[in-house]
Amino acid sequence: MKRAPIALVALFALAGAAYAQQPAQPHASSDVLFLPAVQYGGPLRISGGLAVFVPIGDRGTSRRQGVVIEGSGGQGGARLSAGLARFIEAFGLDARAVLNRTWSSPLGASPDSTYGGLEAGLSIAYVRVSVGVAHRISGASGPDATILTWGVALQLPHYFGRR
């Protein structure tokens, strides 16, 4: 059973290496960017998800800014996030509002609880790291009322809307 998450991470790593070998293709800054990802962090543990970046503002530059919306699920729970992001070539920064719902075995959080908070992320090529803080909105009282959210993700960007 413990080999399945390791195999999943290895599969995404191999897919990322194969994707990186493809020749670079130009894209318009108005393209919608899909970011499927596999992540490890708290409170979800190993999770998979999809973020969608919708650009707003300036068009036709190497700098893109816009709105990012993400949903993911994993061993420790599920998560929704939305916020603002800015990309310059392969580098990105984002700030998001995050809603986490934990299952029975979250990492660093109370089980069967809902947490809301804020998170900041940094993306460099295919890797995204994030850190934030969330407070319990519902669930059993006790420890872990306020938690640290964090994650390290491998994401494989795909543009939709190429011309």
Give dist(CA 121, CA 114) in Å, integer: 21
pLDDT tens for each residue of 50-93: 999 999 987 667 888 999 999 999 999 999 999 999 999 889 99
Question: Cβ contacts of residue 88 below 8 Å, gap of 6+?
Answer: 62, 63, 64
Contact 54, 65 (CB under 8 A): no
C-alpha distances (whole Å) from 99 to each of 57, 113, 116, 156 are: 27, 11, 5, 23
Average model confidence (pLDDT) across the chain: 84
Q: Which two structure tokens, joined as six digits, stand for 2?
A: 């413990």
| Count of structural domains within the chain | 1
Q: Closest Cα to residue 100, out of 74, 128, 122, 127?
A: 74
Give dist(CA 37, CA 157) in Å, integer: 9
CATH number, position 57: 2.40.160
In angstroms, how far is the first alpha carbon of the chain from the final one?
44
Q: Which domain holds residue 11?
A: 3-160
Give dist(CA 59, CA 135) in Å, integer: 37
Mean pLDDT for 121-144 is 94
Check whether 121 has a pLDDT greater than 80: yes
**What per-residue confidence (pLDDT) applies to 161?**
62
Give dist(CA 29, CA 107) in Å, integer: 37
